[in-house]
Structure 1
Amino acid sequence: MKLRLTLAATAAAMAFSGAALAQTQPYEQVGPKQDWTVDLGVGVLFSQDSSGDTGGKTNVVPYIAANWRDTVYFSPFEGVGWNAIRTDSFRAGVQIRPRFSPDDIEGLTLERPDFGADAAVYAFQRLPGNIVIGGRVSRDISDVSEGTEYYGSIGHQRATGVGLLNATAYVRGGDRKLADAYYGVDASEAALNGISAYAPDGGLQGAGVNVVLVAPISRQWAIGGLANYERRLGDIADSPLSQNDDAWRVGGFIARRFGG
Protein backbone atom coordinates (compact mmCIF):
# COMPACT_ATOMS: atom_id res chain seq x y z
CA MET A 1 0.00 0.00 0.00
CA LYS A 2 1.29 3.45 -0.85
CA LEU A 3 1.93 5.87 1.98
CA ARG A 4 -0.15 8.87 1.08
CA LEU A 5 0.00 12.49 2.14
CA THR A 6 -3.43 12.56 3.75
CA LEU A 7 -2.31 15.79 5.41
CA ALA A 8 -3.23 14.43 8.82
CA ALA A 9 0.43 13.91 9.56
CA THR A 10 1.04 17.45 8.40
CA ALA A 11 -1.75 18.65 10.63
CA ALA A 12 -0.38 16.94 13.67
CA ALA A 13 3.12 18.30 13.19
CA MET A 14 1.82 21.82 12.62
CA ALA A 15 -0.71 21.60 15.42
CA PHE A 16 1.73 20.77 18.18
CA SER A 17 3.11 24.25 17.70
CA GLY A 18 5.19 24.43 20.82
CA ALA A 19 6.73 21.04 20.01
CA ALA A 20 7.02 21.01 16.24
CA LEU A 21 8.01 24.60 15.50
CA ALA A 22 10.46 24.61 18.40
CA GLN A 23 12.43 21.92 16.63
CA THR A 24 13.67 24.17 13.82
CA GLN A 25 12.43 27.69 14.51
CA PRO A 26 13.80 29.82 17.39
CA TYR A 27 10.64 31.28 18.87
CA GLU A 28 10.86 32.53 22.44
CA GLN A 29 10.87 29.71 25.01
CA VAL A 30 7.40 28.66 26.20
CA GLY A 31 7.15 26.75 29.48
CA PRO A 32 9.96 25.06 31.41
CA LYS A 33 13.01 23.95 29.47
CA GLN A 34 13.52 20.17 29.42
CA ASP A 35 16.41 18.00 28.24
CA TRP A 36 14.08 15.68 26.36
CA THR A 37 10.44 15.49 25.34
CA VAL A 38 8.17 12.92 23.70
CA ASP A 39 4.74 13.99 22.41
CA LEU A 40 1.95 11.47 21.81
CA GLY A 41 -1.41 12.40 20.39
CA VAL A 42 -4.03 12.06 17.70
CA GLY A 43 -5.25 14.51 15.07
CA VAL A 44 -8.33 14.84 12.87
CA LEU A 45 -8.05 16.80 9.63
CA PHE A 46 -10.32 17.70 6.73
CA SER A 47 -8.45 18.59 3.54
CA GLN A 48 -9.85 19.87 0.25
CA ASP A 49 -7.87 19.43 -2.99
CA SER A 50 -4.64 18.95 -1.05
CA SER A 51 -2.48 17.77 -3.98
CA GLY A 52 -4.44 18.68 -7.11
CA ASP A 53 -8.11 18.00 -7.81
CA THR A 54 -8.29 15.32 -5.11
CA GLY A 55 -11.59 16.33 -3.50
CA GLY A 56 -12.38 16.45 0.19
CA LYS A 57 -11.05 13.91 2.71
CA THR A 58 -11.22 13.50 6.48
CA ASN A 59 -8.48 11.52 8.22
CA VAL A 60 -7.63 10.49 11.78
CA VAL A 61 -4.00 9.57 12.58
CA PRO A 62 -1.79 9.06 15.62
CA TYR A 63 1.18 11.35 16.18
CA ILE A 64 4.55 10.92 17.89
CA ALA A 65 7.45 13.36 18.09
CA ALA A 66 10.66 13.50 20.10
CA ASN A 67 13.25 16.14 20.94
CA TRP A 68 16.60 16.02 22.75
CA ARG A 69 17.92 19.37 24.01
CA ASP A 70 16.51 21.17 20.95
CA THR A 71 19.37 19.58 19.03
CA VAL A 72 18.25 16.20 17.67
CA TYR A 73 14.57 15.64 16.91
CA PHE A 74 11.99 13.55 15.08
CA SER A 75 8.46 14.15 13.84
CA PRO A 76 6.30 12.54 11.12
CA PHE A 77 6.36 15.76 9.08
CA GLU A 78 9.93 16.99 9.51
CA GLY A 79 11.55 13.57 9.75
CA VAL A 80 14.87 13.23 11.57
CA GLY A 81 16.88 16.42 12.04
CA TRP A 82 19.86 18.04 13.70
CA ASN A 83 20.13 21.70 14.70
CA ALA A 84 23.82 21.98 13.86
CA ILE A 85 23.88 25.68 14.83
CA ARG A 86 21.62 26.66 17.72
CA THR A 87 21.52 29.96 19.58
CA ASP A 88 18.74 31.76 21.41
CA SER A 89 17.61 33.50 18.21
CA PHE A 90 19.02 31.42 15.33
CA ARG A 91 18.87 27.82 14.15
CA ALA A 92 20.38 26.06 11.16
CA GLY A 93 20.62 22.39 10.46
CA VAL A 94 19.97 19.36 8.30
CA GLN A 95 17.07 16.93 7.94
CA ILE A 96 15.98 13.73 6.26
CA ARG A 97 12.36 14.56 5.47
CA PRO A 98 9.59 12.20 4.34
CA ARG A 99 7.77 13.07 1.10
CA PHE A 100 4.41 11.34 1.05
CA SER A 101 2.66 10.14 -2.08
CA PRO A 102 -0.12 12.51 -3.18
CA ASP A 103 -3.76 11.44 -3.30
CA ASP A 104 -5.35 10.29 -6.54
CA ILE A 105 -6.85 12.90 -8.88
CA GLU A 106 -10.60 12.50 -9.08
CA GLY A 107 -11.82 10.96 -12.33
CA LEU A 108 -8.34 10.23 -13.72
CA THR A 109 -6.13 7.14 -13.91
CA LEU A 110 -2.56 8.28 -13.25
CA GLU A 111 0.69 6.87 -11.90
CA ARG A 112 1.37 9.27 -9.04
CA PRO A 113 4.73 9.40 -7.20
CA ASP A 114 5.46 6.87 -4.46
CA PHE A 115 6.58 7.65 -0.91
CA GLY A 116 10.07 9.15 -0.89
CA ALA A 117 12.61 11.04 1.18
CA ASP A 118 14.37 14.40 0.86
CA ALA A 119 17.66 15.66 2.28
CA ALA A 120 17.26 19.27 3.46
CA VAL A 121 19.20 22.19 4.89
CA TYR A 122 17.49 25.08 6.71
CA ALA A 123 18.10 28.30 8.60
CA PHE A 124 15.71 30.45 10.67
CA GLN A 125 16.32 33.75 12.48
CA ARG A 126 14.19 35.37 15.19
CA LEU A 127 13.59 39.11 14.88
CA PRO A 128 12.22 41.56 17.47
CA GLY A 129 8.59 40.91 18.29
CA ASN A 130 9.02 37.11 18.23
CA ILE A 131 8.93 37.09 14.43
CA VAL A 132 10.86 34.28 12.75
CA ILE A 133 11.99 34.32 9.12
CA GLY A 134 13.92 31.72 7.19
CA GLY A 135 13.79 28.95 4.69
CA ARG A 136 14.72 25.47 3.57
CA VAL A 137 16.13 23.77 0.47
CA SER A 138 15.41 20.07 0.04
CA ARG A 139 16.25 17.52 -2.65
CA ASP A 140 14.82 14.08 -3.36
CA ILE A 141 17.24 11.28 -2.41
CA SER A 142 14.92 8.34 -3.14
CA ASP A 143 14.64 8.55 -6.96
CA VAL A 144 10.95 9.50 -6.72
CA SER A 145 11.39 12.81 -8.55
CA GLU A 146 15.11 13.75 -8.33
CA GLY A 147 13.69 17.24 -7.83
CA THR A 148 14.62 20.18 -5.60
CA GLU A 149 12.18 22.26 -3.52
CA TYR A 150 12.62 25.75 -2.04
CA TYR A 151 10.60 27.06 0.92
CA GLY A 152 10.56 30.42 2.68
CA SER A 153 8.40 31.65 5.57
CA ILE A 154 7.74 34.44 8.03
CA GLY A 155 5.88 33.67 11.25
CA HIS A 156 4.80 35.17 14.56
CA GLN A 157 3.99 33.39 17.80
CA ARG A 158 2.35 34.81 20.91
CA ALA A 159 0.59 33.75 24.09
CA THR A 160 -3.10 34.71 24.22
CA GLY A 161 -5.82 34.36 26.82
CA VAL A 162 -6.80 31.05 25.22
CA GLY A 163 -3.42 29.54 24.41
CA LEU A 164 -0.39 29.73 22.16
CA LEU A 165 -1.15 31.23 18.74
CA ASN A 166 1.14 30.87 15.72
CA ALA A 167 0.55 32.43 12.30
CA THR A 168 2.89 31.77 9.38
CA ALA A 169 2.90 32.93 5.77
CA TYR A 170 5.01 30.97 3.29
CA VAL A 171 5.95 30.48 -0.34
CA ARG A 172 7.36 27.37 -1.96
CA GLY A 173 8.82 26.53 -5.33
CA GLY A 174 10.84 23.90 -7.08
CA ASP A 175 12.65 22.83 -10.21
CA ARG A 176 11.23 21.24 -13.36
CA LYS A 177 11.77 17.66 -12.16
CA LEU A 178 9.74 18.22 -8.99
CA ALA A 179 6.90 19.96 -10.84
CA ASP A 180 6.75 17.29 -13.55
CA ALA A 181 6.68 14.39 -11.06
CA TYR A 182 3.62 15.72 -9.24
CA TYR A 183 1.75 17.79 -11.84
CA GLY A 184 3.01 16.61 -15.24
CA VAL A 185 1.03 14.44 -17.67
CA ASP A 186 2.93 12.22 -20.12
CA ALA A 187 1.67 11.18 -23.55
CA SER A 188 0.33 7.77 -22.46
CA GLU A 189 -1.55 9.27 -19.50
CA ALA A 190 -2.99 11.97 -21.75
CA ALA A 191 -4.28 9.41 -24.25
CA LEU A 192 -5.73 7.17 -21.51
CA ASN A 193 -7.59 10.00 -19.77
CA GLY A 194 -8.52 12.23 -22.70
CA ILE A 195 -6.57 15.23 -21.43
CA SER A 196 -3.65 17.20 -22.81
CA ALA A 197 -0.06 16.17 -22.17
CA TYR A 198 1.66 18.68 -19.92
CA ALA A 199 5.29 19.28 -18.91
CA PRO A 200 5.51 22.05 -16.28
CA ASP A 201 8.63 24.13 -15.75
CA GLY A 202 10.21 25.12 -12.44
CA GLY A 203 9.50 28.25 -10.40
CA LEU A 204 7.04 29.28 -7.71
CA GLN A 205 4.55 26.52 -6.96
CA GLY A 206 2.44 27.81 -4.08
CA ALA A 207 1.85 30.39 -1.35
CA GLY A 208 -0.18 30.02 1.79
CA VAL A 209 -0.99 30.83 5.40
CA ASN A 210 -1.08 28.55 8.47
CA VAL A 211 -2.80 29.49 11.73
CA VAL A 212 -2.39 27.20 14.77
CA LEU A 213 -3.83 27.59 18.27
CA VAL A 214 -2.66 25.33 21.13
CA ALA A 215 -4.47 25.45 24.49
CA PRO A 216 -3.21 23.59 27.60
CA ILE A 217 -5.76 21.62 29.61
CA SER A 218 -3.26 20.39 32.25
CA ARG A 219 0.50 20.29 32.78
CA GLN A 220 0.88 17.42 30.31
CA TRP A 221 -2.16 17.66 28.03
CA ALA A 222 -3.08 20.15 25.31
CA ILE A 223 -5.79 20.55 22.71
CA GLY A 224 -5.87 22.80 19.69
CA GLY A 225 -6.79 23.44 16.12
CA LEU A 226 -5.39 24.68 12.84
CA ALA A 227 -6.40 26.22 9.55
CA ASN A 228 -4.35 26.31 6.36
CA TYR A 229 -4.98 27.90 2.97
CA GLU A 230 -2.68 27.50 -0.02
CA ARG A 231 -2.90 28.85 -3.55
CA ARG A 232 -1.07 26.98 -6.29
CA LEU A 233 1.00 29.21 -8.56
CA GLY A 234 2.91 29.23 -11.84
CA ASP A 235 3.03 26.15 -14.05
CA ILE A 236 1.55 24.08 -11.23
CA ALA A 237 -1.62 26.17 -11.40
CA ASP A 238 -1.78 25.66 -15.18
CA SER A 239 -1.62 21.86 -14.91
CA PRO A 240 -4.72 19.89 -16.04
CA LEU A 241 -4.42 18.09 -12.67
CA SER A 242 -5.17 21.36 -10.84
CA GLN A 243 -8.34 22.92 -12.21
CA ASN A 244 -9.07 24.21 -8.69
CA ASP A 245 -5.94 25.96 -7.45
CA ASP A 246 -7.15 26.55 -3.88
CA ALA A 247 -6.36 24.01 -1.14
CA TRP A 248 -7.90 24.13 2.36
CA ARG A 249 -7.14 22.21 5.54
CA VAL A 250 -8.80 22.48 8.96
CA GLY A 251 -8.31 20.19 11.91
CA GLY A 252 -8.02 19.58 15.63
CA PHE A 253 -5.86 17.51 17.96
CA ILE A 254 -5.21 16.32 21.49
CA ALA A 255 -1.73 15.46 22.78
CA ARG A 256 0.21 14.48 25.88
CA ARG A 257 3.82 15.49 26.56
CA PHE A 258 6.35 13.38 28.44
CA GLY A 259 9.67 14.93 29.41
CA GLY A 260 12.55 15.21 31.76
Structure 2
Amino acid sequence: MIVRSLLSGAAFAALTLIAPAAVAQSQPYERMGPQQDWTVDVGVGALYSQDSNGDTGGKANVVPYIAANWRDRIYFSPFEGLGWNVVSTDTFRAGLQLRPRFSPDDIEGLTLDRPDFGAGAAVYAYQRLPGNIVVGGRVSRDVTDVSEGTEYHASIGHQRVTPIGALNVSAYVRGGDRKLADAYYGVSPAEALANGIPAYAPDGGLQGAGATAMLITPLSPRWAAGGLLGYERRLGDIADSPVSQNDDSWRVGAFVVRRFGG
Protein backbone atom coordinates (compact mmCIF):
# COMPACT_ATOMS: atom_id res chain seq x y z
CA MET A 1 0.00 0.00 0.00
CA ILE A 2 1.42 3.43 -0.97
CA VAL A 3 0.41 5.17 2.24
CA ARG A 4 1.92 2.43 4.38
CA SER A 5 5.24 2.84 2.58
CA LEU A 6 5.33 6.46 3.72
CA LEU A 7 5.08 5.44 7.37
CA SER A 8 7.76 3.66 9.36
CA GLY A 9 6.99 0.13 10.48
CA ALA A 10 6.70 1.22 14.12
CA ALA A 11 4.48 4.15 13.22
CA PHE A 12 2.14 1.99 11.17
CA ALA A 13 1.92 -0.50 14.04
CA ALA A 14 0.88 2.29 16.39
CA LEU A 15 -1.69 3.50 13.92
CA THR A 16 -3.30 0.09 13.56
CA LEU A 17 -3.39 -0.32 17.33
CA ILE A 18 -4.70 3.02 18.51
CA ALA A 19 -6.65 4.73 15.74
CA PRO A 20 -9.76 2.53 15.47
CA ALA A 21 -10.63 2.64 19.17
CA ALA A 22 -9.97 6.37 19.44
CA VAL A 23 -12.40 7.22 16.63
CA ALA A 24 -15.50 5.11 17.28
CA GLN A 25 -15.89 1.70 18.83
CA SER A 26 -19.53 1.35 17.86
CA GLN A 27 -18.93 1.88 14.14
CA PRO A 28 -17.68 -0.87 11.77
CA TYR A 29 -14.88 0.86 9.87
CA GLU A 30 -12.41 -1.43 8.12
CA ARG A 31 -10.02 -2.99 10.61
CA MET A 32 -6.44 -1.68 10.27
CA GLY A 33 -4.73 -4.43 12.24
CA PRO A 34 -5.27 -7.69 14.15
CA GLN A 35 -7.86 -7.72 16.90
CA GLN A 36 -6.51 -7.75 20.46
CA ASP A 37 -8.34 -9.41 23.34
CA TRP A 38 -8.25 -6.22 25.41
CA THR A 39 -6.85 -2.71 25.23
CA VAL A 40 -6.66 0.29 27.54
CA ASP A 41 -5.69 3.75 26.24
CA VAL A 42 -4.57 6.38 28.76
CA GLY A 43 -3.66 9.97 27.97
CA VAL A 44 -4.44 13.64 28.36
CA GLY A 45 -6.00 16.24 26.10
CA ALA A 46 -6.75 19.93 25.78
CA LEU A 47 -10.14 21.09 24.52
CA TYR A 48 -11.39 24.54 23.51
CA SER A 49 -15.08 25.11 22.88
CA GLN A 50 -16.90 28.21 21.66
CA ASP A 51 -20.61 28.77 22.38
CA SER A 52 -21.47 25.15 23.11
CA ASN A 53 -25.05 24.78 24.45
CA GLY A 54 -25.89 28.47 24.00
CA ASP A 55 -24.05 31.78 24.22
CA THR A 56 -21.45 30.46 26.65
CA GLY A 57 -18.40 32.10 25.07
CA GLY A 58 -15.02 30.41 24.77
CA LYS A 59 -13.66 27.96 27.31
CA ALA A 60 -10.49 25.85 27.43
CA ASN A 61 -10.04 22.71 29.53
CA VAL A 62 -7.33 20.13 30.13
CA VAL A 63 -9.03 16.76 30.42
CA PRO A 64 -7.88 13.18 31.08
CA TYR A 65 -8.39 10.60 28.33
CA ILE A 66 -9.10 6.93 29.01
CA ALA A 67 -10.62 4.30 26.75
CA ALA A 68 -10.94 0.53 26.95
CA ASN A 69 -12.07 -2.30 24.69
CA TRP A 70 -12.68 -6.03 25.13
CA ARG A 71 -12.82 -7.98 21.85
CA ASP A 72 -14.85 -5.23 20.13
CA ARG A 73 -17.79 -6.20 22.35
CA ILE A 74 -17.55 -4.19 25.56
CA TYR A 75 -15.94 -0.75 25.41
CA PHE A 76 -15.59 2.60 27.08
CA SER A 77 -14.50 5.97 25.71
CA PRO A 78 -14.95 9.66 26.57
CA PHE A 79 -16.84 10.08 23.30
CA GLU A 80 -19.33 7.22 23.60
CA GLY A 81 -19.43 6.26 27.27
CA LEU A 82 -19.90 2.61 28.24
CA GLY A 83 -21.10 0.42 25.37
CA TRP A 84 -21.91 -3.12 24.28
CA ASN A 85 -21.86 -4.22 20.65
CA VAL A 86 -24.69 -6.75 20.89
CA VAL A 87 -24.33 -7.51 17.16
CA SER A 88 -20.82 -7.16 15.72
CA THR A 89 -19.94 -8.30 12.21
CA ASP A 90 -17.33 -7.09 9.75
CA THR A 91 -19.71 -4.51 8.25
CA PHE A 92 -22.51 -4.03 10.81
CA ARG A 93 -22.75 -3.15 14.50
CA ALA A 94 -25.73 -2.63 16.77
CA GLY A 95 -25.83 -2.30 20.50
CA LEU A 96 -26.44 -0.38 23.70
CA GLN A 97 -24.67 2.53 25.38
CA LEU A 98 -24.74 4.54 28.58
CA ARG A 99 -23.66 7.92 27.23
CA PRO A 100 -22.45 10.90 29.28
CA ARG A 101 -24.12 14.27 28.83
CA PHE A 102 -21.99 17.05 30.24
CA SER A 103 -23.41 20.05 32.05
CA PRO A 104 -23.46 23.18 29.85
CA ASP A 105 -21.39 26.19 30.83
CA ASP A 106 -23.04 29.23 32.41
CA ILE A 107 -24.00 32.18 30.20
CA GLU A 108 -22.30 35.39 31.26
CA GLY A 109 -24.72 38.01 32.56
CA LEU A 110 -27.59 35.55 33.06
CA THR A 111 -28.67 33.55 36.10
CA LEU A 112 -30.25 30.38 34.76
CA ASP A 113 -30.88 26.93 36.17
CA ARG A 114 -28.69 24.98 33.73
CA PRO A 115 -28.81 21.15 33.68
CA ASP A 116 -26.39 19.10 35.78
CA PHE A 117 -24.17 16.31 34.44
CA GLY A 118 -26.33 13.42 33.27
CA ALA A 119 -26.39 10.24 31.24
CA GLY A 120 -28.58 8.70 28.59
CA ALA A 121 -29.36 5.09 27.68
CA ALA A 122 -28.95 4.64 23.92
CA VAL A 123 -29.58 2.05 21.22
CA TYR A 124 -27.63 2.28 17.94
CA ALA A 125 -27.03 0.62 14.60
CA TYR A 126 -24.33 1.34 11.98
CA GLN A 127 -23.67 -0.18 8.55
CA ARG A 128 -20.47 0.03 6.51
CA LEU A 129 -20.87 0.76 2.80
CA PRO A 130 -18.30 0.42 0.00
CA GLY A 131 -15.47 2.94 0.29
CA ASN A 132 -15.26 2.56 4.08
CA ILE A 133 -18.29 4.82 4.54
CA VAL A 134 -20.37 4.17 7.65
CA VAL A 135 -23.98 5.30 8.04
CA GLY A 136 -26.34 4.88 10.96
CA GLY A 137 -27.65 6.47 14.08
CA ARG A 138 -28.77 6.20 17.67
CA VAL A 139 -31.66 7.11 19.93
CA SER A 140 -30.98 7.93 23.58
CA ARG A 141 -33.10 8.86 26.59
CA ASP A 142 -32.01 10.62 29.76
CA VAL A 143 -31.94 8.18 32.70
CA THR A 144 -30.66 10.56 35.38
CA ASP A 145 -33.69 12.88 35.74
CA VAL A 146 -31.71 15.79 34.31
CA SER A 147 -34.07 16.38 31.38
CA GLU A 148 -36.13 13.16 31.01
CA GLY A 149 -35.77 13.92 27.31
CA THR A 150 -35.11 11.81 24.20
CA GLU A 151 -32.46 12.60 21.57
CA TYR A 152 -31.89 11.13 18.11
CA HIS A 153 -28.71 11.35 16.05
CA ALA A 154 -27.93 10.24 12.48
CA SER A 155 -24.51 10.37 10.81
CA ILE A 156 -22.43 9.46 7.80
CA GLY A 157 -18.66 9.09 8.11
CA HIS A 158 -15.55 8.05 6.23
CA GLN A 159 -12.18 6.84 7.52
CA ARG A 160 -8.89 6.52 5.64
CA VAL A 161 -5.16 6.21 6.24
CA THR A 162 -3.18 9.26 5.12
CA PRO A 163 0.60 9.79 5.02
CA ILE A 164 0.48 11.28 8.53
CA GLY A 165 -2.14 9.11 10.22
CA ALA A 166 -5.75 7.94 10.27
CA LEU A 167 -8.34 10.57 9.33
CA ASN A 168 -12.01 10.25 10.21
CA VAL A 169 -14.55 12.78 8.96
CA SER A 170 -18.29 12.74 9.52
CA ALA A 171 -21.44 14.81 9.16
CA TYR A 172 -24.53 14.51 11.32
CA VAL A 173 -27.95 15.82 12.24
CA ARG A 174 -29.51 15.62 15.66
CA GLY A 175 -32.86 16.32 17.22
CA GLY A 176 -34.91 15.68 20.31
CA ASP A 177 -38.22 16.02 22.06
CA ARG A 178 -39.69 19.00 23.91
CA LYS A 179 -38.31 17.95 27.31
CA LEU A 180 -34.74 17.85 26.01
CA ALA A 181 -35.03 21.21 24.24
CA ASP A 182 -36.63 22.89 27.25
CA ALA A 183 -33.98 21.63 29.70
CA TYR A 184 -31.10 23.15 27.73
CA TYR A 185 -32.67 26.09 25.88
CA GLY A 186 -35.91 26.94 27.70
CA VAL A 187 -36.40 30.00 29.91
CA SER A 188 -38.96 29.76 32.71
CA PRO A 189 -41.17 32.74 33.64
CA ALA A 190 -39.22 33.17 36.89
CA GLU A 191 -35.87 33.15 35.01
CA ALA A 192 -37.26 35.60 32.46
CA LEU A 193 -38.33 38.03 35.20
CA ALA A 194 -34.99 37.75 37.02
CA ASN A 195 -32.87 38.24 33.88
CA GLY A 196 -34.94 40.64 31.79
CA ILE A 197 -35.29 38.25 28.86
CA PRO A 198 -38.39 36.64 27.31
CA ALA A 199 -39.76 33.40 28.70
CA TYR A 200 -39.33 30.63 26.16
CA ALA A 201 -40.62 27.07 25.85
CA PRO A 202 -39.12 25.37 22.76
CA ASP A 203 -40.81 22.46 21.05
CA GLY A 204 -39.15 19.24 19.88
CA GLY A 205 -37.76 18.53 16.43
CA LEU A 206 -34.50 19.03 14.58
CA GLN A 207 -31.96 20.75 16.83
CA GLY A 208 -28.63 20.85 15.03
CA ALA A 209 -26.42 19.78 12.14
CA GLY A 210 -22.66 19.63 12.07
CA ALA A 211 -19.42 18.02 11.00
CA THR A 212 -16.39 16.61 12.81
CA ALA A 213 -12.86 15.60 11.84
CA MET A 214 -10.31 13.60 13.84
CA LEU A 215 -6.72 12.78 12.94
CA ILE A 216 -4.67 10.16 14.83
CA THR A 217 -0.90 10.39 14.25
CA PRO A 218 1.40 7.57 15.45
CA LEU A 219 4.46 8.51 17.52
CA SER A 220 5.77 5.02 18.37
CA PRO A 221 4.42 1.45 18.60
CA ARG A 222 2.46 2.36 21.77
CA TRP A 223 2.06 6.14 21.58
CA ALA A 224 -0.07 8.36 19.37
CA ALA A 225 -1.22 11.96 19.22
CA GLY A 226 -4.53 13.20 17.92
CA GLY A 227 -6.45 16.28 17.01
CA LEU A 228 -10.14 16.98 16.53
CA LEU A 229 -12.25 19.75 15.07
CA GLY A 230 -16.01 20.11 15.22
CA TYR A 231 -18.62 22.58 14.03
CA GLU A 232 -22.36 22.68 14.66
CA ARG A 233 -25.19 24.94 13.58
CA ARG A 234 -28.17 25.03 15.94
CA LEU A 235 -31.51 24.65 14.18
CA GLY A 236 -35.23 24.70 14.86
CA ASP A 237 -36.74 26.02 18.06
CA ILE A 238 -33.47 25.97 19.99
CA ALA A 239 -31.96 28.38 17.45
CA ASP A 240 -34.75 30.83 18.37
CA SER A 241 -34.02 30.61 22.11
CA PRO A 242 -32.97 33.86 23.85
CA VAL A 243 -29.97 31.95 25.27
CA SER A 244 -28.74 31.15 21.74
CA GLN A 245 -28.26 34.43 19.89
CA ASN A 246 -25.18 32.96 18.21
CA ASP A 247 -26.22 29.65 16.65
CA ASP A 248 -22.74 28.53 15.55
CA SER A 249 -20.56 26.48 17.90
CA TRP A 250 -16.98 25.24 17.50
CA ARG A 251 -14.78 22.73 19.27
CA VAL A 252 -11.08 22.05 18.75
CA GLY A 253 -8.80 19.76 20.71
CA ALA A 254 -5.59 17.75 20.85
CA PHE A 255 -4.52 14.76 22.89
CA VAL A 256 -1.72 12.26 23.40
CA VAL A 257 -2.41 8.65 24.35
CA ARG A 258 -0.52 5.52 25.35
CA ARG A 259 -1.91 2.03 24.68
CA PHE A 260 -1.75 -0.98 26.98
CA GLY A 261 -3.12 -4.32 25.84
CA GLY A 262 -2.66 -7.87 24.77
Same-fold call, TM cutoff 0.5: yes
Residue 244 of structure 1 is matched in structure 2 by 246
Alignment of 1:210-249 (within 5 A): 210-249=212-251
TM-score when scaled to structure 2?
Answer: 0.91
Residue 5 of structure 1 is matched in structure 2 by none
Residue 92 of structure 2 is matched in structure 1 by 90
Please give the secondary structure, in 1, of the residue aligned with 2:25. helix
Please give the secondary structure, in 2, of the residue aligned with 1:18. helix
Query: How big is each residue's C-alpha offset from its partner over 1:65-86, in whole Å with a ceiling of 9 and x where there is no partner?
Result: 1100000011233221110000
1:35 equivalent to 2:37? Answer yes
1:24 equivalent to 2:26? Answer yes
Residue 115 of structure 2 is matched in structure 1 by 113
Residue 4 of structure 1 is matched in structure 2 by none
Residue 135 of structure 2 is matched in structure 1 by 133
Residue 65 of structure 2 is matched in structure 1 by 63
Q: Distance in 1 between matches of 2:78 and 2:146?
A: 19
1:177 equivalent to 2:179? Answer yes
Q: What is the CA distance between 1:142 and its match in structure 2?
A: 1.1
Q: Distance in 1 between matches of 2:83 and 2:21?
A: 14
Query: How big is each residue's C-alpha offset from its partner over 1:89-115, in whole Å with a ceiling of 9 and x where there is no partner?
Result: 000000111111111112100010111
Please give the secondary structure, in 2, of the residue aligned with 1:182. helix
Asked if structure 2 preserves the Cα contact closer than 8 Å seen for 1:17 and 1:212, the reply is: no
Query: How big is each residue's C-alpha offset from its partner over 1:194-240, in whole Å with a ceiling of 9 and x where there is no partner?
Result: 00000000001000000111110111000121111100000010000
Q: What is the CA distance between 1:17 and its match in structure 2?
A: 4.9
Query: How big is each residue's C-alpha offset from its partner over 1:38-57, in whole Å with a ceiling of 9 and x where there is no partner?
Result: 00011111110011000001
Asked if structure 1 preserves the Cα contact closer than 8 Å seen for 2:23 and 2:168, the reply is: no
Q: What is the CA distance between 1:259 and its match in structure 2?
A: 1.0
Please give the secondary structure, in 2, of the residue aligned with 1:177. helix
The root-mean-square deviation of aligned C-alpha atoms, in Å, is: 1.0
Larger Rg: 2
Q: Distance in 2 between matches of 1:141 and 1:33?
A: 33
Q: Distance in 1 between matches of 2:204 and 2:86?
A: 30
**Percent of matched pairs sharing the same residue:** 76
Q: What is the CA distance between 1:31 and its match in structure 2?
A: 2.6
Q: Distance in 2 between matches of 1:47 and 1:243?
A: 16
Query: Amino acid of the residue matched to residue 68 of structure 1?
Result: W
Q: Distance in 2 between matches of 1:106 and 1:122?
A: 36
Please give the secondary structure, in 1, of the residue aligned with 2:249. strand
Query: Amino acid of the residue matched to residue 152 of structure 2?
Result: Y
Q: Distance in 1 between matches of 2:24 and 2:198?
A: 44
Moved over 6 A (4+): none
TM-score when scaled to structure 1?
Answer: 0.92
Q: Distance in 2 between matches of 1:143 and 1:251?
A: 30
Q: What is the CA distance between 1:18 and its match in structure 2?
A: 2.0
Residue 4 of structure 2 is matched in structure 1 by none
Query: Amino acid of the residue matched to residue 134 of structure 2?
Result: V
Q: Distance in 2 between matches of 1:213 and 1:206?
A: 23
Query: Amino acid of the residue matched to residue 112 of structure 1?
Result: R
Which stretch shows the higher mean deviation, 76-85 or 236-245? 76-85
1:168 equivalent to 2:170? Answer yes
Query: Amino acid of the residue matched to residue 208 of structure 1?
Result: G
Q: Distance in 2 between matches of 1:164 and 1:179?
A: 35
Q: Distance in 1 between matches of 2:106 and 2:24?
A: 33
Asked if structure 2 preserves the Cα contact closer than 8 Å seen for 1:27 and 1:131, the reply is: yes
Q: Distance in 2 between matches of 1:227 and 1:188?
A: 37
User: Structure 2: where are the runs of 5+ without partners?
Assistant: 1-17
User: Structure 1: where are the runs of 5+ without partners?
Assistant: 1-15
